[in-house]
Amino acid sequence: MSEPFAAVEVISAKRDKQELSDAHIDWIIDAYTRGVVADEQMSALLMAILLNGMNSREISRWTDAMINSGERMSWSILTRPTVDKHSTGGVGDKITLPLAPLVAACGGAVPQLSGRGLGHTGGTLDKLESIPGWRASLSNDEMLKVLQDVGAVICAAGAGLAPADKKLYALRDVTATVQAIPLIASSIMSKKIAEGTSALVLDVKTGSGAFMSDPDDARELARTMVELGKRAGVTTRALVTAMDVPLGLTAGNALEVRESVEVLAGGGPADIVELTLILAREMLDAAKIKPLMDPADALKNGAAMDHWRRMISAQGGDPDGKLPVAKERQEFLAPTSGVVTRMDAMSVGLGAWRLGAGRAVQGEKLQLGAGIEIHAKPGEHIQAGTPLYTLHTDESARFERALDVLQTSFTIGSESDPIHRLPLILDRIEG
Ligand code: URA
């Protein structure tokens, strides 16, 4: 088949700061997915986009072209409105685990396609795989059945969903082009729109442990994604939330599942409970659902826990199964007494990664019990010689490299020192 364009025409247009036409965009995404445009050509285009940007028409067309590269799911058979949440990811961000069953308990249908962790941030599927027997891969029919029976399903996106994004994301990862707002927004939104949800709440993280460390960049990413959702007919809202400090008191797969179960049992750390409830209310409102009960009550009265247990069982998991525990532990003791005034999310994330909780390359096997428990967060008192962190790993040789990064991950000061911590919610953006 003869091609309507040559890749160099499209690359040079963006290199020269011109707008890409709809025809250029449709063709390059399709031709790259078919293997006609080579990786080196797409790499050059991605770098030109990173440097010169895209306007809202180009971003919208690029997103549509990625959606059209694969299938579009439909949940029209369901009697409940569908609503999903997507987080741009961070350290200790296990919110999806309690949130999906909680929203199901309140009357929503949550079709959550999730990913795996790469680098210092964890992935929801990796966390859930620490539950014995739990399966991430479901067919579309199986996914529908769990949604119908339970109201929430968390699983891997099939190969047919936005295949252009799968290729592009892998290429961006190795060409230093992940960090472009048009590319992040189109990547996330193409998958969420193709997933077929009718409402979507985005949790855009900002701070040292997030993709977008600058809050203004996070706001721009949030606005771009909300606009894409609106154009596609998906009611989309975004919250810009803090990721300067780890969320909750654990980072690492099985450790985070344990903490999520505590939240579902009506306990758990205050920041996790607060963010889970804020997102649940936002999801129910965005989907125009009259809640069957208040989300805070659903955490206290066992309804969310009941939905969690059913969701895990429906995917082959044993909700009472023993979670993996790392073979080795080491405590990191506070060097002085005082108030924790700073705790850097990125350093804690790197520490957990070096202990074996995260992967360095796609497909690497994880140590599911590895990670870090945090014993005092910014604003809390600590005594010299008592544990600030507990480190978990299967290989004691990993402690040293984790300790290197953790030594400078916190500051302990006096009562009168300012606490360095972003507010949990920085902004809310609605289409
Ligand atoms: N998550 C995605 O799915 N895509 C990106 O580009 C960044 C985060």
* 98: in domain: yes
- Count CB neighbours of 351 within 10 A: 31
Task: Report if residue 173 sits inside a domain.
Answer: no
Considering the domain architecture, whether residues 206 and 128 belong to the same structural domain is answered as yes
Our answer on whether the CB atom of 194 is closer than 6 Å to any ligand 1 atom is no
User: CA nearest 272: which of 290, 245, 235?
Assistant: 245
Residue 316 Ramachandran class (φ > 0 left, ψ -120 to 50 alpha, else beta):
left
* 308, 358: one domain: no
Q: Whose CA is nearest to atom 2 of ligand 1?
A: 188
Atom 3 in ligand 1: residue holding the nearest Cα: 188
120 labelled catalytic: no
> Do residue 295 and residue 334 come from a single domain?
no
Query: Which protein residue's CA is at the shortest distance from atom 7 of ligand 1?
Result: 184
Number of domains in the chain: 3
The response to whether residue 238 sits with its C-beta less than 6 Å from ligand 1 reads no
86 a catalytic residue: yes
- Does ligand 1 come within 6 angstroms of the Cβ of 144? no
Q: Are residues 261 and 404 in the same domain?
A: no
Mutate to test the pocket of ligand 1, among 54, 63, 171, 188 (most ligand atoms within 8 A of CB): 188
Q: Which among 88, 114, 195, 203 is the best mutation to test ligand 1's pocket, defined by most ligand atoms within 8 Å of the CB?
A: 88
| Closest residue by Cα to residue 182 from 69, 51, 84 | 51
- On whether residue 344 sits in a domain, the answer given is yes
- Residue 243 and residue 148 in one domain: yes
> How does the average pLDDT of the chain come out, rounded?
96
Chosen domain end from 294, 321, 348: 321
pTM assigned to the model: 0.96
Is a pLDDT exceeding 80 seen at residue 126?
yes
Q: Determine, yes or no, domain membership for 347.
A: yes
Q: Find the distance separating the first CA and the last CA of the chain, reported in whole Å.
A: 42
Q: How far is the CA of 178 from the centre of ligand 1 (A)?
A: 8
Confidence of residue 162 (pLDDT cuts 50, 70, 90): very high
Which residue type does 210 have? A
357 domain residue, yes or no: yes
Query: What is the residue range of 297's domain?
Result: 83-158+182-321
Is the same domain home to 92 and 187?
yes
What CATH number is associated with residue 17?
A: 1.20.970.10
Q: Is residue 220 included in any domain, yes or no?
A: yes
Annotated catalytic residue within 14, 24, 61, 86:
86
Q: 106-116: per-residue pLDDT in tens? A: 999 999 999 88
Catalytic-labelled residue, pool 165, 244, 271, 344: 165
Residue 290 has pLDDT above 90, yes or no: yes
Residue 172 in any domain: the answer is: no
Whether residue 187 has its Cβ less than 6 Å from ligand 1: yes
* Same domain, yes or no: 127 and 242: yes
Active-site residue flag, 409:
no
Q: 224 CA to middle of ligand 1, Å?
A: 14
Same domain for 211 and 107: yes
What is the predicted pLDDT for the residue at 59? 98
CATH of the domain at 228: 3.40.1030.10
Atom of ligand 1 nearest to the CA of 89: 8
The C-alpha angle 281, 193, 9, rounded to 5 degrees, equals 140
For ligand 1, whether the C-beta of 188 sits within 6 Å is: yes
In SS3 terms, the chain reads as CCCCCCHHHHHHHHHCCCCCCHHHHHHHHHHHHHCCCCHHHHHHHHHHHHHHCCCHHHHHHHHHHHHHCCCCCCCCCCCCCEEEEEECCCCCCCCHHHHHHHHHHCCCEEEEEECCCECCECCHHHHHCCCCCCCCCCCHHHHHHHHHHHCEEEEECCCCCCHHHHHHHHHHHCCCCCCCHHHHHHHHHHHHHHCCCCEEEEEEEECCCCCECCHHHHHHHHHHHHHHHHHCCCEEEEEEEECCCCCCCEECHHHHHHHHHHHHCCCCCHHHHHHHHHHHHHHHHHCCCCCCCCHHHHHHCCHHHHHHHHHHHHCCCCCCCCCCCCCEEEEEECCCCEEEEEECHHHHHHHHHHHHHCCCCCCCCCCCCCEEEECCCCCCEECCCCEEEEEEECCHHHHHHHHHHHCCCEEEECCCCCCCCCCCEEEEEEC
Question: Is there a single domain that holds both residue 305 and residue 377?
Answer: no
387: which strand partners?
A: 333
pLDDT of residue 226: 98
Q: Which of 209, 259, 251 is nearest to 356 (CA)?
A: 251
CA 44 / ligand 1 centre spacing (Å): 19
> In which band, very low, low, confident or very high, does the pLDDT at 1 lie, cut at 50, 70 and 90?
low
Structure tokens at 185: 């927004």
Distance, CA 120 to ligand 1 centroid (Å)? Answer: 14
Atom 1 in ligand 1: residue holding the nearest Cα: 188
* pLDDT score recorded for residue 159: 87
- Ligand 1, atom 5, residue with closest C-alpha: 184
> What CATH number corresponds to the domain at position 397?
3.90.1170.30
Instruction: Tell me the pLDDT tens digit for each residue of 358-408.
Output: 987 777 889 999 999 999 999 999 999 999 999 999 999 999 999 999 999
Band (pLDDT 50/70/90 cuts) for residue 118 is low
C-alpha of residue 325 to centroid of ligand 1, in Å? 30
Question: What pLDDT, on the 0 to 100 scale, is given for residue 122?
Answer: 78
In angstroms, what is the span from residue 383 Cα to ligand 1's centroid? 40
Q: Are residues 249 and 301 in the same domain?
A: yes
Is the pLDDT reported for residue 64 higher than 90? yes
Asked if pLDDT for residue 322 goes beyond 90, the answer is yes
Please check whether residue 175 lies inside any domain of the structure.
no
- Provide the CB-side half-sphere exposure for 343 (13 A, CA): 24
Residue 362 has a pLDDT of 72
Residue 191 known to be catalytic? yes
Whether 192 and 150 map to the same domain: the answer is yes
Q: Is 172 a catalytic residue?
A: yes
Q: How far is the C-alpha of 255 from the C-alpha of 92, rounded, in Å?
A: 10
Q: What is the pLDDT of residue 36?
A: 96
Same domain, 94 and 117: yes
Residue pLDDT, tens place only, 192-225: 999 999 999 999 999 999 989 999 999 999 999 9
Residue 398 token pair? 């990993």
Q: Which atom of ligand 1 lies nearest, measured to the CA of 187?
A: 4
In the set 14, 85, 94, 191, the catalytic residue is 191
pLDDT of 232 above 70:
yes
With the most atoms of ligand 1 within 8 angstroms of its CB, the residue from 66, 200, 211 to mutate is 211
266 CA to centre of ligand 1 in angstroms: 32
